Structure 1
Amino acid sequence: MSRSQRLLTLIDLLRSHRYPVAGKHLAETLEISLRTLYRDIATLQEQGANIEGEAGMGYVLKPGFLLPPLMFNDEEIEALVLGARWVAQRTDSQLSDGAKNALNKIAAVLPPELKNTLDDTSLLIGPSKDTVIDSVNMPEVRLAIRDEKILSITYCDLKDNKTTRRIWPFALGYFDEVRVLVAWCELRQEIRNFRTDRLLTCELEKTRYPTPRHALLKRWRATLHGASTTKAN
């Protein structure tokens, strides 16, 4: 096993434990000496891994993002760049800036030869046939999804019927020509799809909806594999 692969394996081992792991156990699993393990942990810490602990006490990887050098091959870098370019061109300004900043952070931890691959990739995003125009604050919609907050909306359906609703948003689908908000609708008492370009008003409430987002996602995904109860508005 190469050292770069061993470092990635060590990270995976630490990620799989919520509590401190003895250095002896880590060294035995990796089939290395304790001395080598201590050097590897010091290397990962220098590269930004939030590893806490010391010899005799055990080690734990604190939650957070880690992008150690050498973890991407050419195809993975091209996939990251292509995806980030799509987000930068097809989403609202805050998410677009987030994609650009993410690429800058990735570039900062890549060794020179891989950074050149990131800078020089020629995979491009073509122009979209239609520009999606949202009449509501999309960062606020994403915040509602993350924080499991209720949205009060005024919605105009495909027949131009306007209704006022309270919804529990839990997913947002991005397509070239439309964005679709998936939510539990209190008015219809079922999961419904809402095109964001047909949201006339959208107000974020302080109230959290009672069903966890992951449970709503699970319920919605189940409908996609059978007789779907999700209806398009």
Structure 2
Amino acid sequence: MRRTDRLFDIIQILRDGKLHRAQDIATRLEVSVRTIYRDMDTLTASGVPVEGERGVGYMVREAITLPPLTLTTEELEALNLGMAIVAEAADQALKSAALSLADKIDAVLPTQTVAEADAWKFAVYPFADAARGFTHMAPLRAAIKSRQKLRLVYQRIDGELTDRTIRPLHMEYWGRVWTLTAWCENRNDFRVFRVDLIQEATPLPELFLDEPGKRLEDYVP
């Protein structure tokens, strides 16, 4: 069982408002008690109102829960853009709510890794950074679908601007920050760009075909 599925099952167990021992939950889900303790810590950190402690039991009170949802990429973009806008508002209550909601969403998204993930620390970037990237989503998606080359003006992590011609291949979401995997004509190699650091994305009058060594399936992070 995937961890996200197990966390969801735990929430369903606790929704009845009764006290549940960790041992009983562990037996029901066929995992160790230690695993349940870690899962409870994760749920608490994600904002789920879990009450209780180890050796006593756990319960949830006064929680507003939603049925399972399957979001499209566009729906996830819209949700994050809305949170980005609210998180930059002056209303501290709404700002806190947006941040809490983002943590809950991050906790249940599929977990993936890339070589640069630890250095970039995606999940801690402020919403303002993530919001900037949404202006480029439409042209990037269109270029990926039509296999159209793009000219990027890109701001590196050190602040320097670079000019690239790329073959856009794939976009992914990494906890509030989107990335674009592409073949870079300038570097003659694959590159992963943070979408919020793209300053300009200009379609070029040139399409590209799949070539061995330059396709998404050839990319090894």
TM bin, normalised by shorter chain, reads: 0.3 to 0.5
Larger radius of gyration: 1
Bigger RCO of structures 1 and 2 (CA < 8 A, at least 6 apart) = 2
TM-score, normalised by the number of residues in structure 1: 0.42
TM-score, normalised by the number of residues in structure 2: 0.44
